[in-house]
Amino acid sequence: MKTEHDAHLGTGGELHQQANAEHLPLTTQQGVAVSDNQNSLRAHPQGPTLLEDFILREKITHFDHERIPERIVHARGSGAHGFFELTHSLEEFTTAKVLTEVGVKTPVFSRISTVAGGSGSSDTPRDVRGFAIKFYTPQGNWDIVGNNIPVFFIQDAIKFPDLVHAVKMEPDRGFPQAASAHDTFWDFISLTPESMHMVMWIMSDRTLPRSLRMIEGFGVHSFRLLNAAGEPTFVKFHWRPRLGLQSTVWDETVKIAGADPDFHRRELFEALGAGEVAEWDFAVQLFTQAEADKFPFNHLDATKLIPEELVPLQVIGRLVLDRWPDNFFAETEQVAFCPSHLVPGIDFSNDPLLQGRLFSYLDTQLSRLGSPNFAQLPINAPKCPFAHQQRDGHMQMAQPRGRVAYEPSSLARDAPRADRATGFASVALDEGGTRGRARAASFADHYSQARQFWISQTAPEQAHLASALVFELSKVEHPHVRQAMVGHLRLVDETLAQRVSTGLGLSELPEPANPALPVQDLPASPALSLIGKARDTLAGRAIAILVADGSDGVAIAALKKAAAAAGARVKLVAPRVGGITLASGKKLAVDGQLAGTPSVLFDAVALVLSEPAGKALCREAAAVDFVRDAYGHLKAIATDAGAQALLMASGIEPDAGVVGVGDVKAFLAAAATRQWAREKSVRTLA
C-alpha cells in the first residue's frame, strides 16, 4: 500500500524504493537502519521539527563540519557595509524597532555569494546567489539569510546534504567546479520532483546576473511578525534593486569568467570606490493564517512562492550599501549569518527547511570560526548594549569580572536578568497532532508553479531557459537521467519538453513523470519575468570606447561626456596601454589594453578609429572579437567611418543597435537595453 509519503514523492519515491530493494539499507554512523531519509521528524505534518530527531542532527552535523575553514556553500562572496532606512512603519504587526521606527538608519553588513563553487572559483557561473543581510538593530542583531531566488530545491532540511553533495564536485574526480552541468546533480534532480520549480529558476537568466547590484533578494521562507498584543502575521521579505534587473547571455557569461573571474566583486568595489551605491527597496508580503488557508499551495513549502498578484508587495524601506570592507578577511570572510538570529517581534514559521537551517547555520559557524565566541568578532558583534553569562571557551576576547556567571543570583546586584517585558517571545501556538516523519499532503504539488514560471517568461527568456537545459543535460553521461528530466518537463510544458528533447537529439519524447497531485494551470505572473523588471538606464552600466592612434578626440570627448551624464562609467580601450596620439597630435591616456579588456566586460561599445587604424585592426583577432562579441551579445555599437573596415571584418550586419558615433543620443538609448530582436540572427536557441 502506498503511504502519503510515497505518493508525495511520485516517480522519485518509486525509483528510490526500487533502488532500496537492490542495495544495502541506509544507516546512521552507528549502524542504525534509516526508515525515511526524505523527511525530518515533526510534531505533525505541518508542525515544527523536533530536536529529538537524531538522524537529522547526525546528518546535518557531519555535513556542517565537512570543510574547514571555507564555507561548505556560499564560499565565494563579496560584502559591503551600509544602512537600512525604514520608510513605512509596521507597528500594527510587530514590536521590532527596526520595522517600526521610521527614518532611523540601522547599520547593516551584506554578503552576496555564489553557492556551489569554492572561494577561488569565478564570480559568474550559472548559480543561485546568496543574499544575506545583518542588521545591527537596537534590540540585537537580526539576520536575513536569503537568496536571489524566492524558492529552493528541497522542502525538508534533511535533504540539504544530499543536494549539496550532488551539485558539488564529483568526489571521485574533483570536478566540475562551480557547475551543475554534470551527472550527480541531474541524477539527484531527476529523482526529486520537488526540485522542478527551482530548476526553472536556475536555468533562467536569473542565475546569470550582470552585477551584484542588479539582483533581487528574497527571504525564501515565511516568517511571523508578532505585535504588542501577541497577534501573529505571516511575512515574506523581498529586496528590489533600484538599478533594475539585468542579466548576461550565456556565451557572454562564459567569456567573462575567462576575462575577469572577479567580475562581480570588481564591479561592486569600483562602484563603491567611485561614490556610487548599491540600493534596494525593501518590501514585505503580509498575510494571515486564514488567508494562507485559501492559497492553492502551502506557503510553508520552500519550493513555492506567493505570487505578487495574490499578495501584493508593500515597500517599507530601503537598503543602501555604500562602503567596502576595510579588510576582506576580517569582515567578509568572518561574518557569520544565522537565520536563528532574530529580534523581539519576529518569529519563525514551521517551514521544515527553515527549521533545519536554524540548527545548521549555528553549527556551521562553530566549525568554521572555531569557537562559540564568534559573536565577539567585530563584524559579528551587536552594536547595542548586551550582557550574558556565557564565559570562557576558545578565543575568548572579553574579560568578564566578578564571581557570578549564572542566573538567577543574589551575589551581584547588577547581574543581567531575563526581562519578560522586552525579551524575545515566541508565538503561542497549539502544535497538537500525531508526530512522525511526514510532510503535509499539500507539499506534493511539484509542477504547478514550475509551469507558472515558464508561461510568465518572455520569448527570449523561454529560449534561454530551454537552451540552458539542453546545455546542462548534454553534459550528462547517462541517457536515462536525460530522459527522466524530459519526462518531468512534460508536466511543466509540452512545448518546453519538445524543445529540450530535440536539442538533446532524443528519437522520441519519454513518458511523462507520474505526478503525486494533478498539475494546476495557474495564471501567468508578469512579476516573474526578468526582462519585465529591467530598466532602460545607463546607471550602473559601463561603456567601452575602442581607440587607436589617429582617433578623433572631439568625438571621444562628446561620447564620454554624454555617457557619464547618463550615469555610465566609460573606459578607453586601445591596442597598447601606454596611451594614443589623437588626430590633433594630442596625447590621450587609456584605461585598458585591447587583448585584456574585451567587450564582454561592458554593456555597450563605441569604435572611434581612423581609417588606417581600422584597417590595421582587421588583422588583430582581439579587435575582431571585440566587435563580434559585442554584436553577438546584443549590445549597442557606435561606429565612425574609420571603423567600417573592422565592422565588415567582424561580419556585422548593421541593425537598429548599430549607430553612428555622431548620433550620441541614439547610441545611449540603444545602450540602455539589450537588442533582443537581434538574437535570432546570431545564435540558434532551443
Domain that holds residue 350: 41-159+199-376
Distance of CA 185 to the CA centre of its chain: 18
Asked whether residue 62 falls in the same domain as residue 117, the answer is: yes
pLDDT given for residue 655 in this prediction: 95
Asked whether residue 568 falls in the same domain as residue 527, the answer is: no
* Residue 290 pLDDT > 90: yes
pLDDT given for residue 6 in this prediction: 41
Q: Tens of pLDDT along 357-390?
A: 999 999 999 889 988 889 999 999 999 888 888 8
Q: Tens of pLDDT along 411-432?
A: 988 888 888 888 888 888 888 8
244: its cell numbers: 533594475
* Percentage of residues in the chain having pLDDT higher than 90: 83
Query: Contact 286/314 with Cβ under 8 angstroms?
Result: yes
Asked whether residue 293 falls in the same domain as residue 315, the answer is: yes
Is residue 30 assigned to a domain? Answer: no
- The DSSP string of 500-552 is HHHHHT-SSPPPPP--SSPPP-PPP-GGG-SGGG-----TT-EEEEE--TT--
Give the three-class secondary structure for 49: strand
* Paired strand residues for 217: 239
CB atoms inside a 10 Å sphere around CB 351:
25
Catalytic residue, candidates 5, 8, 39, 74: 74
Q: Which of 532, 550, 585 is the endpoint of a domain?
A: 532
Asked whether residue 525 falls in the same domain as residue 552, the answer is: no
Q: Which of 474, 497, 532 is the endpoint of a domain?
A: 532
* Residue 501 pLDDT > 90: yes
Query: Contact 374/380 with Cβ under 8 angstroms?
Result: yes
pLDDT given for residue 395 in this prediction: 85
Is residue 592 assigned to a domain? Answer: yes
Query: Contact 542/603 with Cβ under 8 angstroms?
Result: yes
Is residue 430 assigned to a domain? Answer: no
Asked whether residue 211 falls in the same domain as residue 353, the answer is: yes
* Residue 16 pLDDT > 80: no
Distance of CA 627 to the CA centre of its chain: 31
Domain CATH for 560? 3.40.50.880
Asked whether residue 211 falls in the same domain as residue 347, the answer is: yes
How far is 98 from 384, CA to CA, in rounded Å?
13
CB atoms inside a 10 Å sphere around CB 316:
18
Is residue 252 assigned to a domain? Answer: yes
How far is 114 from 125, CA to CA, in rounded Å?
8
How far from 311 is each of 106, 280, 287, 295, 525, CA to CA, in Å? 27, 20, 7, 10, 12
Lowest mean pLDDT among 9-23, 75-89, 110-124, 460-474: 9-23
Lowest mean pLDDT among 87-91, 384-388, 496-500, 581-585: 384-388
* Residue 603 pLDDT > 60: yes
pLDDT given for residue 417 in this prediction: 83
Q: Tens of pLDDT along 545-572?
A: 999 999 999 999 999 999 999 999 999 9
Annotation says 227 is catalytic: no
Q: Tens of pLDDT along 59-117?
A: 888 888 777 688 989 999 999 999 999 999 999 999 999 999 999 999 999 999 999 99
**Of the candidates 353, 381, 360, 446, the residue with the CA atom closest to the CA atom of residue 74:** 360
Asked whether residue 281 falls in the same domain as residue 346, the answer is: yes
Is residue 427 assigned to a domain? Answer: no
Q: Which of 376, 392, 426 is the endpoint of a domain?
A: 376
pTM of the model as a whole? 0.91
Catalytic residue, candidates 147, 148, 350, 380: 147
Q: Mean pLDDT, the chain, as a whole number? A: 93
How far from 64 is each of 183, 284, 359, 364, 443, CA to CA, in Å? 24, 31, 10, 5, 26
Asked whether residue 233 falls in the same domain as residue 310, the answer is: yes
* Residue 319 pLDDT > 90: yes
Query: Contact 12/516 with Cβ under 8 angstroms?
Result: no
Is residue 362 assigned to a domain? Answer: yes
**Of the candidates 422, 361, 347, 418, the residue with the CA atom closest to the CA atom of residue 388:** 418
Asked whether residue 74 falls in the same domain as residue 96, the answer is: yes
Q: What is the DSSP letter of 247?
A: B
Q: What is the DSSP letter of 650?
A: T
* Residue 287 pLDDT > 80: yes
Domain CATH for 134? 2.40.180.10
Is residue 184 assigned to a domain? Answer: no
* Residue 20 pLDDT > 60: no
Please provide the distance, in angstroms rounded to a whole number, between the alpha carbons at the two ends of the chain: 42
Annotation says 264 is catalytic: no
Asked whether residue 139 falls in the same domain as residue 234, the answer is: yes
Is residue 100 assigned to a domain? Answer: yes
**Of the candidates 101, 98, 90, the residue with the CA atom closest to the CA atom of residue 136:** 98
Phi and psi at residue 419, to the nearest 5°? -130, 105
Query: Contact 298/261 with Cβ under 8 angstroms?
Result: no
User: Letter for the amino acid at 179?
Assistant: A
For strands 569-574 and 592-593, give the pairing. Answer: parallel
How far from 249 is each of 72, 201, 318, CA to CA, in Å? 28, 15, 29
Domain CATH for 459? 1.20.1370.20
**CA torsion, points 355, 357, 359, 362, in degrees to nearest 10?**
-150
Domain count across the chain: 3
Q: Tens of pLDDT along 616-642?
A: 999 999 999 999 999 999 999 999 999
Distance of CA 253 to the CA centre of its chain: 16
Asked whether residue 109 falls in the same domain as residue 54, the answer is: yes
165: its cell numbers: 553533495
**Of the candidates 154, 177, 202, the residue with the CA atom closest to the CA atom of residue 469:** 202
Average pLDDT over residues 600-608: 98
Average pLDDT over residues 591-604: 97
SS3 per residue for 355-408: HHHHHHHHHHHHHHHCCCCHHHCCCCCCCCCCCCCCCCCCCCCCCCCCCCCCCC
Asked whether residue 282 falls in the same domain as residue 372, the answer is: yes
Lowest mean pLDDT among 32-41, 178-187, 247-256: 32-41
Q: What is the DSSP letter of 674?
A: -
How far is 640 from 660, CA to CA, in rounded Å?
6
User: Rg of the chain over CA atoms, in angstroms?
Assistant: 27
